[in-house]
Homo-oligomer: A and B are copies of this chain.
Amino acid sequence: MPEISERGMQMPASPIRKLAPLSDAAKARGIKVYHLNIGQPDLPTLESALNAIRNIENKILEYSPSDGYRYYRENLINYYAKYNINLSADEIIITSGGSEAVLFAFLACLNPGDEIIIPEPAYANYMAFAVSTGAIIKTIPSFMETGFALPPIKEFEKLINSRTKGILICNPNNPTGYVYSPEEMEQIKEMVKKYNLYLFSDEVYREFIYTDIPYVSACHLKGIEENVILIDSVSKRYSECGIRIGALITKNKKVHDTVMKFCQARLSPPLIGQIAANASLDESEAYLRQNFEEYRSRRDFLIERLNRIPGVYSPMPMGAFYTLASLPVDDADEFCAWCLSDFQYEGETIFMAPASGFYVTPGLGKNEVRIAYVLNKTDLDKALTILEKALEAYPRKNNAFYVKNEHRAVYSKTDL
């Protein structure tokens, strides 16, 4: 047989989905599985979006323009203006989810072998898109002790060389929930300007910021307008993951036109998704406010409850709907698998994403998990009881972590 490609072999399995077969097997045994692993919002999709789909008038489900319908891009101008991001329709390209926006940004801006720097832990699929495009990701660790704040700029500078083409940030951050401060964004701006880098900024969780610190988008940074490529998606904000509508936004005309060539090759983003996403813009303020309150209240509940479990520690995430928690175990991959394959509590168990897949540096995040708070509080409560019981029953618990994490929890309570 002909061989598969090297990048195919290098492609990481999704840390979020790789344990799915164990979860399926648990369900087949009649066990109820609480999904804390995946960022699939449980909150209902906005009714106006569902209605727009139910009322489609198209007789032919035709290709849309490669950069998406102009009416939708024009309506997006108002959406972004509310966040003080000033755009024209020609600076917005509609993509098949935020995923395609990342892929096309890398394809258009990076040569194979070019490097981008990303603070870790980071959304695992950035690594996958880097492998897909031959780009090299260099990471700088951020640490739970500081709530995963931006690492010092001098750490970035140590990695910058002639192959460095860009910095990638996710803000608010998946998986840590960290939101970069205005000071941190200013530091990033100076570095981007000084070294003439692209700034890829994934801001799909913009609606979910629970801190009072002012939100600074990469698009707010003065003087680097042509360096910025904004990655966006409607998936999370309107509970519309399945419609696959994202956006790549840039004021850099060359990048725009190059991305358009990749867009033309794949012809069109999804038609019905654009209809739904456009309808979501009409009346989303109350909906967004309600979802925001719900996620914030879940966050408060989750973190308080997590930090009461002996040996477990989570800093307080400032945004998105994830947290990274450390557990009193040596190997969270093993523990997460064990929860699905060997454990149940009253016929139920939990599916968490081991954090190792969010780190590039080997060994980091070994005892951490990502937890998505996309369950209602009753279910979250049950899931956390299961986590507590599972840790009690787990034969390979590590008490060193237990002590260390107790200390961390105290540290967090005074400082966050």
Contacts and interface: CB of A to CB of B under 8 A. Distances in A.
A63 B14 CA distance: 15
Nearest to A96: B96
A99 B62 CA distance: 15
A129 interface: yes
A227 B2 contact: yes
A161 interface: no
Please tell me the size bucket of the interface on A. 35 or more
A38 interface: yes
A42 interface: yes
B264 A13 contact: yes
Given A5-B108, A13-B261, A17-B264, A58 B38 contact: no
A243 B226 contact: no
Contact of A107 (B5, B13, B243, B265): B5
A396 interface: no
A267 B167 CA distance: 23
A59 B2 CA distance: 45
A166 B132 CA distance: 19
- Chain A binding surface SS class: loop
A377 to B, nearest CB: 18
Contact of A2 (B50, B128, B198, B240): B198
Contacts of A196: 1-2
A12 to B, nearest CB: 7
B261 A128 contact: yes
Given A134-B112, A261-B11, A268 B254 contact: no
27 contacts: A4-B254, A5-B108, A5-B110, A8-B109, A8-B261, A8-B262, A9-B258, A11-B258, A13-B261, A14-B265, A40-B63, A53-B54, A54-B54, A54-B55, A61-B243, A61-B276, A62-B239, A96-B266, A96-B270, A99-B266, A103-B266, A112-B134, A132-B265, A134-B134, A242-B272, A244-B268, A244-B270
